[in-house]
Amino acid sequence: MIDERPDLMPRAKIPDRLFAVPVQLERVSLEDWRREKLANYLGIQSLSGECAGNIEHLIAIYKSTTQINPSSIQGVIVVLRRLYGNLRGENYQDALNIVSDSRSRVDYETQATLAPIAQRVLRGDTGAEDELAAAARTRESELAGMRVSAQAEKLRMLCGMLRHAFIQYANPTHTSNSDSMTYLRGFASEILSFLEVDRDFATHPGRFDEYLRTDVSPLEPSSSLLSDVPCIRWTPSE
């Protein structure tokens, strides 16, 4: 059985909207035989136009992100150091703009923590610069020594989104029995096969399950990773 609110794995450590708002989408079309296999895993007779269209859109979004290099941890640290240095010149202003912009290539935790303070700095609030400098130092210490694979993080995010799509479109009997995870793995594996993703999940199903449980819930009510896939809905109860 697939619980709609399982013990989720941490969300991917790449910018949320960098994934959700691609630069350019390539047209994707699933083969008829693959649609039949996906429908079988979902426990339905055939994929509806809505279901097929949204799965293809998710695939297109993922493919578009392979053309983008998300910020490295070291790159984020460089930005943070500019926020607490003694100089308040062009580099400081650039760093301030980066952390205050929700579409910047800063990891989601850094952006979520520093953006509200950076926006107060931009408004000229008293004491905001010192508060931002302290927050930047704290975040730098948290990031020090951290190693993140951009490709793995993007794949984790995709898997979490595929799990959400599976719950929405699958026959309820396929999400509520002892074989539910088998169906979900098959569904996701078929899409990863289409993408030619080279991961040895067959011999490491536990790792695959962790990827499928990646948290893709919105960071705030008005923001969702699924916003570019209109018919894949996220609601507070899911």
Q: What pLDDT, in 10s, does the model give residues 60-99?
A: 878 776 554 445 677 788 888 889 876 666 788 888 888 8
Q: Locate 148 and state its tokens.
A: 């993140």
CA-to-CA separations, 210 to 41, 66, 118, in angstroms, rounded: 19, 22, 34
Q: What pLDDT, in 10s, does the model give residues 103-150?
A: 666 777 788 889 999 999 999 999 999 999 999 999 988 887 666 666
Residue ranges per structural domain of the chain = 16-68+149-212, 73-106+108-143
What is the 8-class DSSP label of residue 50? H
Q: What pLDDT, in 10s, does the model give residues 206-216?
A: 888 888 988 87
The pTM of this model reads 0.62
The helix/strand/coil state of 178 is coil
Torsion of CA 59, 61, 66, 72, to 10 degrees: -130
The separation between CA 14 and the C-alpha centre of its own chain, rounded to angstroms, equals: 7
